Structure 1
């Protein structure tokens, strides 16, 4: 294929570009006929409805998407009708707005589809409030806004019927792209000085957040599409995608494994050629994962590089030659050999992926169970949701009170078009302080940039036709950038909404200053809300997050031990504990990210980092045991049981807010340096590393029951 065709194929398989293209097609089919028929105002109302429909869309199978669309249209129409009924009676409309906001936020507890439905209903209601002054009749907005959302939903559903697995391909490709970045970042350990290793660990933790999130999203998409399908369908594309998903899970376990502390390896090995060999091979494997992800994204066959086979052989020869010269001790040689074996297994996984991406019939259907958590009964779930400690309940109350303040300003100052304040609050106010603070800056800068850009554009291009072209261009760029560069996206959507409301109504001149002031007021109200109304400081969640991580690590270690006892398999009983351990580790890493921008004493900042750092290191050693699990291989059952019991006891005490017993540190096992059993040496080294980390984490868990030291005092466990 020519470079131009390859580029076009890459662009059209980009998820953001394709989504933006769907929205652009919908908007163009609404706006241009309205312009030709001299019904620009009606076309803008339809376009705003399509915008709300696009922003509230979630991934589902075709049948589920159609049901969600019909329910969304019913909710949209009802909400807009209620707005028109009560908006002219502030004493009735204010309480209705607050109560409905709380309910629409809380229904998000019933899953992503319900949360998307609540957000879309709230968004289209705010659009109806902003356009109410220009509505010529009672049913004008309910009909046109709902029809706009229906038109986008119908086009999107037809696209889904034509390409039912397109989003699964895109999300699965993101898994391999993230795995590629992880391997490339890990390769830098072999040539980085010791003082940079902590930074590398932090970078790996951030990439792992993206990787685990992509894996979880892929699992949900596959589960939606596999559920309820017939046997014949399962033998084709879903089975191929499921096999590639299970493969990247296995490769993730191998990639996150740690056979030997990298600082110690660089100090002990002192052999540049071997270190360069490890680094080069990891880089090649990372590049291969990227090419595999690109092949999945573009629906092409993946071609594995033969160079990796040669590099594996060269690395083994270099290791043998270096060992003959330097006579490495068994405690160093065994981890190095298993590290080479782990890379060889990654190479074999990529060869299996090469066969899976060919458009050939699979020899047999992939029949494996995906985790589907049992839904909690309605009333117990509702009681748990209405608890003051529930994160979603706090967010719903906070957003509702924020809307109360905003609506009071609008009615008190008689701002007929001041509902932009509520729109800003909806997009800026997030469940956590850190997310809200980030959105505050992005929203303010983006709105200011959009208004500054609008002033010369609208005076240079005053005609309706030119403004429609600018509007379509803005909405296309917004959807390509909203998940990548939010500030840029806000700038373009600010220009879009300003043009839409301007062309929708009777106002002949765009209002720049009021929109900027409304944005600043909305941002200020959101900031006040997250600071004073049930602020969700991350340090409040640290004991629970640590308990979740310790419990998940205990179950993962127990699952690994069962594999050694009964034989290696990839059934749900092993994959689920592994996934839960990585999800819990991600939550600790995210807490560290968030707590850095919160007004907390240095003690909490250091403690959160130390816990996240050590838990990720612990998970890396557990992943090594899992990557090399084999039937009848020797493992010290007593030591494993002690580790599992200590982790579970710590988790129970942290959740119950009881003082942890003052247990003595768990002992490490002795290693016979003269043993010829390489696996015995490596497994005992790994369990000793795990033991030391569990002892350190247990000591930190005990620190939660002690008062934080004064500012400037050293935190426990940090040098």
Structure 2
């Protein structure tokens, strides 16, 4: 453990095995694909457990251990090795308790059904405490259902409570052994996901240069959706960094990763920035070369961030592309050809691109100083986090009750009608029933389609591999492909988990094909139960949530704007943690609004009341956040020469603060329009180029804010009764 706690990331022996030159391309291809790594690790663990025992004729023991390893892999979390050990201990204990309870209560179906319902609620609420507990409790519920499936073929009551936790323990120890040789892999993988998500965002944004008004609105909505992926990746990076920080006594080895994370946040802020109406600038033929050059620069930046992500995953030193420097230099030269280049409306954007280029160019250099940037952490105790979920309006408590009812009804159907392998009804409900209607509906079709395809494909393949070695090969291939597709495309992964189950029952009782029709029927029943439960119990229709989400977005944008103004007023600060928290919260609120619009697309037609308004709000709020990001991104380079900019910025801020608590926004809109006129006059009269550009940013902020408040006023007047609260967790 000391080696894990203090190993330096630059120690190559700790990071990767030494490989021959001819194997290096294969090694890089393997390590650069996290899905391939997960699939290989899980399949190898299952193979080590199952193959020898199947050969020796102990098929039941083999497949039960394999199911335990499968559950262990599905419930694994990204955590420091010390945290992984704690998680593994909790996992083995909870798996043992869950499977033992099923075995002991199986002769008493009423007690078993009630215990299943109550334990589901308890497990889900405990899982809401943290990511570590979420993985453990999900695995415990899953193992309990696996134990219900295996009780009929188990030789004795004690076999499953021993074998299922043993399989999870074996996989956990195997995973820890691999992590021992590469303890920083989890952190590198999360950072790589962040840089890859940013790469996709930059590539999408390149389509704005040039663009017309019609295409710009569509592109910006796509950017808002892609921004969800970037912000989620940043959140996961923060959590894993905190996990490592809590486990380490010496934070020096962690400092490079903290630096990569802070740089990623800066790159994201600049990428999310908007300085002007690019569709308006695209109409001027004199801007055509500059706009096309900006688009090419964004593509080059996208490729560079992708290369750095690959470098993190493969441990190959990052080489900044020379072509990016050339493109930035040509773009700068093109800007200088304009006689008034400093006041050109694209000057700030080009400056942003040049700064992003410099950040990537010097990304791998050792950073001076001994102080590490702080990261936001949830300071609440475990009990406080648990109590916070015990509100009737809390989405997790509602989800726990819905899922528990699904299990109870599914179990009653299974027992009352003597359904063959009726436990699959419960298993299907576990995966299909999601916290929201839209998520459940997506999972519903994916699960049904994947199961049907898996049944048909599996039955056909089994005919080609009728022997025991063939069935074992099919089981391992299905396990590998299931884990490979699990995080990429859920519907495809369901196909292979269905084939995996078919192979399991063929190995144990040679009944895999015979059980495929009952599995399909059970899948349909379980899916219907999940859908009906979410549809009837507290459906979170987005039209009802929209006013609250919009109000939350305005509030978070206001806090972000206030943090930007404070950064301008403070010439130097030791740590910009409050600024980073405010910025992240604004992005998370924006993401909630984007997801509400996206989820509305799959809701019943009569519930899509504000569909067009939701589309406009998604566009406007993300545009406002982009202008705020631009104002914040230049806080170090464009310090106000006088107080006029800050006075007007504070005036806009006050309007936003008042609008947040006001039911009718007419007064705020009139005030904001007068401020906008003042800013327009300042732009015309400004003599200093930097000041003029700052006024332009403020004008754009005011302009989009007016449109956003008008939409907010319309929705709030149309639906004043919407009071459903939306939980956005603290930083």
Common fold, TM-score beyond 0.5? yes
Q: Runs of 5+ in structure 2 lacking a partner? A: 1-19, 721-731
Distance across 1 between alignment mates of 2:523 and 2:493: 15
CA contact (8 A) 2:69 2:167 kept: yes
Q: Select the residue among 158, 162, 187 that pairs with 1:168.
A: 187
Shift of 1:538: 2.0
Alignment of 1:2-151 (within 5 A): 5-151=24-170
Over 3 Å counting, the alpha-carbon distance change for 1:508 and 1:382 in structure 2 is closer
Secondary structure, aligned partner of 1:186: helix
| C-alpha deviation, 1:36, in angstroms | 2.2
- Specify which of 463, 466, 471 is matched with residue 462 of structure 1: 466
Deviations 1:320-365 (A, max 9, x none): 33x34xx78x8xx343221221111111101211425xxxxx6544
2:723 corresponds in structure 1 to none
**Among residues 670, 675, 691, which one is paired with 1:680 in the alignment?**
691
How far apart, CA to CA, are the structure 2 residues paired with 1:3 and 1:161? 25
- How far does the alpha carbon of each residue in 1:259-300 deviate from its partner, in whole angstroms, 9 at most, with x for none? 111111112454322222222222222222221221122112
Residue of structure 1 aligned with 2:356, choices 329, 338, 346: 346
Answer yes or no: is the 8 Å Cα contact 1:567–1:632 preserved in 2.
Answer: no
Q: 1:84/1:399 Cα in 2 relative to 1: closer, same or farther (>3 Å)? A: same
Equivalent position to 2:610, from 601, 604, 608: 604
Distance 2:325 2:457 in 1: 55
The answer to which of 15-24 and 305-314 deviates more is: 305-314
* 1:388 CA drift (Å): 2.5
| 1:266 equivalent in alignment to 2:266 | no
User: How far apart, in 2, do the equivalents of 1:416 and 1:455 lie?
Assistant: 18
* Aligned match for 1:203, one of 200, 212, 222: 222
CA RMSD of aligned residues (A): 2.2
**Closer/same/farther in 2, CA of residues 201 and 75 from structure 1, 3 Å limit:** same
CA distance in 1 between counterparts of 2:521 and 2:282 reads: 57
The match for 2:595 among 590, 594, 607 is 590
Q: Which residue of 1 aligns with 2:328?
A: 312
User: Distance between the aligned counterparts of 2:530 and 2:141, measured in 1?
Assistant: 17
Cα deviations by residue, 1:443-486 (Å, 9 ceiling, x for unpaired): 11111111101112222222121101100010011101011121
Q: Give the equivalent residue in structure 1 for 2:556.
A: 552
1:149, distance to aligned residue in structure 2 (A)? 1.0
> Do 1:443 and 1:487's aligned partners in 2 also have CA atoms closer than 8 Å?
yes
Aligned to 1:372: 377
Q: Does the alignment pair 1:247 with 2:256?
A: no
Q: TM-score, normalised by structure 1?
A: 0.92
How far did 1:69 drift? 0.8
Find 2:307's aligned residue among 249, 268, 291: 291
Q: 2:580 is matched with which residue?
A: 575
How many equivalent pairs are there?
Answer: 690
Is contact 2:593-2:618 (8 Å) kept?
yes
**3-state DSSP of counterpart to 1:133:** coil
* Change beyond 3 A, Cα 1:273–1:641: closer
CA contact (8 A) 1:131 1:501 kept: no
Match runs of 1:219-258 below 5 Å: 219-231=238-250, 234-236=251-253, 238-258=254-274
SS in 2 for 1:271: helix
* Residues 1:613 and 2:624 are matched in the alignment: no
Question: Residue 121 and residue 189 in structure 1: after superposition, are their counterparts in 2 closer, same or farther (change >3 A)?
Answer: same
Could you say if the C-alpha distance between residues 672 and 451 of structure 1 is closer, same or farther in structure 2, counting changes exceeding 3 Å?
Answer: closer
**What is the distance in 1 between the residues matched to 2:297 and 2:512?**
64
Change in CA separation of 1:377 and 1:441 when aligned onto 2, cut-off 3 Å:
closer
Identify unmatched segments of 5+ residues in structure 1. Answer: 357-361, 710-719
Question: 1:405-554, aligned counterparts within 5 Å?
Answer: 405-505=409-509, 507=511, 510-554=514-558
Aligned to 1:627: 633
1:651 aligns with 2:660: yes
**2:710 matched to 1:699?**
yes
Distance 2:350 2:127 in 1: 46
Conserved? CA contact 2:553–2:590, under 8 Å: yes
Deviation of 1:546 (Å): 1.7
1:651 deviates by: 3.4
Relative to structure 1, the CA distance from residue 601 to residue 45 in structure 2 (aligned partners, 3 Å threshold; closer, same or farther) is: closer
- Aligned to 1:38, the other structure's residue is in SS state coil
TM-score of the superposed pair, with normalisation by structure 2: 0.90
For 1:567, what is the secondary structure of its paired residue? Answer: coil
Task: Provide closer, same or farther for how the CA distance between residues 363 and 644 of structure 1 changes in structure 2, counting only shifts above 3 A.
Answer: closer
Inter-partner Cα distance in structure 2 for 1:29 and 1:52: 16
Contact 2:64–2:160 under 8 Å retained in 1: yes
Q: Closer, same or farther in 2 for the Cα pair 1:568/1:611, shift >3 Å?
A: farther
Instruction: Rate the CA distance shift 1:376–1:417 in 2: closer, same or farther, 3 A.
Output: same
Q: Work out whether residues 295 and 302 of structure 1, in 8 Å CA contact, stay in contact via their aligned partners in 2.
A: yes
Which range moves more in the overlay, 147-156 or 104-113? 104-113
Distance in 2 (alpha carbons) for counterparts of 1:61 and 1:529: 37
CA contact (8 A) 1:304 1:354 kept: no
Task: Please give the secondary structure, in 2, of the residue aligned with 1:353.
Answer: coil
Q: Distance in 2 between matches of 1:367 and 1:509?
A: 58
